[in-house]
Amino acid sequence: MATSTAPRTHASRPGRPPERRRAIRIRRQLPTSPWLFAAPGLVITGGFILYPFVSTVINAFTDRRTLLPGRFVGLANFRELLHDDMFWIGLRNSVLYVVGVVPALVLLPLLLALLVQKNIPGITFFRSAFYTPVVASIVVVGLIWVWLLDERGLVNSLLETIGVGKVGFLSDQWLLLLSAMAVTVWKGLGYYMIIYLAALANVPRELHEAAAVDGAGPVRRLCTVTVPAIRSTMVLVAALSSVSAFKVFSEVYLLASPSGGPAGEDTTLVMLVQRTGTGLTGRVGYASAISLVVFAVTVVLMLLVLRADRREEP
């Protein structure tokens, strides 16, 4: 309102035609300009986020296939989900992934950040080394881990050498899931470490000094000074890692193969979306219904993490 009334006041003054003309021009341009500035963002948001989302919601209530238009089927897709064993397997694995990966990704990068936080000679090398997996291609990382964990891979050769015998990292459904979790944690450590490093830099040094004067040791200082000071960062890490863990695809897909491990028992929800909704006979409607469930669970996860954060606030 302020922007639209100001030019009008100037324009109404008599005897200043050039200014008046300019004011009219500005007034005419004003409503257009913001839209034009926002247009690229709106186009991208609309085309690549809003439209696919709305389209997914609509498709979830149809029996649309890849090449055939769908009919409205109401809640039929969601009813089918309840009786689909693969959906429950996918949900179980995705939830297990969150349970297994999130605590590790909240705590281990913090410890790593504390280790590399100190300014000692050569520490930059370690910071870079810990961050390297983050920039590595997930496909390359997946292939390397497959070579390592294969029945005839490096890890099993070592285990055989020391007399433990072969372990079916990639043929046992639970070990396979654990192996995929290990890859996710290994690859994510560096990313969350950087976030923690930024947070640790903002923890007042005086607090540590005061605690040290009061006789607190390193562990006590970590628990009573560092952790409370960076709690909101830990919540952020928990939120980010739980959302990405629930939506895990690449690690399991690469280690377990597109079939989702032995008898498909390592399939995650996003893998199920991919398997169900793609290909020439893909069931786009049903896959959209699964996607909506993934979206709903993700939102709930975020809300839970934020609620936990709020509850802990003094």
Partner 1 sequence: MPMSRRALAAAVTALVLPLSACGSGGGGGSTDASGKVEGDITFQTWNLRANFKDYFDGLIGDFEKKYPGTHVKWVDQPAEGYADKISADAAGGTLPDVVNVSPDLVAPLARAGLAMDLDKAAAKYKGEYLPGAWAGHQVPGMTGTYAFPWYLNTGPLFYNKALFEKAGLDPEKPPKTYGELFADALRMADESGGRVATLANIPTIEDFGRYGASLMDKAGTGFTFNDAKGVELLTRYKQLYDAKALDARALNATPESAGKEFLTQAVAMNPGSALDLDNFKKQAPSLYKNIGITDQITNTGHVNMYVMGLMVNSRTRHTPAAVAFAHYVTDAEHQMSFAKKVAIFPSTAGSLDDPYFTEEDGTDETRVRVAAAKSLKSAVNYTPVLFSDQMKTALRNEVGKALQGRQSPKAALDNAVRACDRLLKQQG
Out of 86, 183, 193, 240, name the contact with partner 1 by CB under 8 A.
86
The half-sphere exposure of 31 on its side-chain side, counting CA atoms within 13 A, is 6
Closest among 298, 306, 299 to 95, alpha carbons compared: 298
Nearer Cβ to partner 1 (48/125): 48
Residue 8 interacts with partner 1 (CB under 8 A)? no
Contact segment (CB under 8 A) with partner 1 among 13-21, 113-121, 280-288, 303-311 equals: 280-288
User: CA–CA separation, 76 vs 73, rounded Å?
Assistant: 6
Q: What is the DSSP letter of 15?
A: T
Restricted to residues 258-277, the positions that interact with partner 1 (CB under 8 A) are: 258-265, 275-276
Considering the complex, what minimum distance in angstroms separates the CB of residue 192 from partner 1? 30
Stretch that binds partner 1, among 90-98, 202-210, 235-243, 256-264 (CB under 8 A): 256-264
Identify which of residues 33 and 128 has a Cβ nearer to partner 1 in the complex. Answer: 33
Asked if 205 and 118 count as a contact pair (C-beta separation under 8 A), the reply is no
Q: How far apart are CA 166 and CA 164, in angstroms?
A: 7
Binding of residue 43 to partner 1 (CB under 8 A): yes
Minimum CB separation of residue 9 from partner 1 in Å reads: 19
What residues between 144 and 183 interact with partner 1 by CB under 8 A? 150-152, 168, 170-171, 176
Minimum CB separation of residue 191 from partner 1 in Å reads 29
C-beta atoms surrounding 14 within 10 Å: 6
Burial of residue 140, with CB atoms counted within 10 A of its CB: 0-12 exposed, 13-18 middle, 19 or more buried: exposed
Shortest spacing between CB 248 and partner 1, in angstroms: 17
Q: Does 4 bind partner 1 (CB under 8 A)?
A: no
Q: 3-state SS string over 207-256?
A: HHHHHHHCCCCHHHHHHHHHHHHCHHHHHHHHHHHHHHHHCCCHHHHHHH
Structure tokens at 271: 């893998």
Using CB under 8 A as the binding criterion, the count of chain residues that bind partner 1 stands at 44
68 is a contact residue toward partner 1 (CB under 8 A): yes
| 3-state secondary structure at position 129 | helix
Nearer to partner 1, 12 or 281 (CB): 281
Q: One symbol per residue from 182 to 221: x for binding partner 1 (CB under 8 A), - otherwise; what is it?
A: ----------------------------------------
* DSSP designation for 277: H
Q: Is 257 in the site for partner 1 (CB under 8 A)?
A: yes
Q: List, in sequence order, the alpha helices (H) in the chain.
A: 2-11, 17-29, 32-45, 51-59, 76-82, 85-117, 123-135, 138-149, 154-161, 173-201, 205-213, 218-221, 227-229, 231-246, 250-256, 269-277, 284-312
Name the residues that contact partner 1, by CB under 8 A.
28-29, 31-32, 35-36, 38-39, 42-43, 46-47, 51, 63, 65-68, 86, 150-152, 168, 170-171, 176, 256-265, 275-276, 278-283
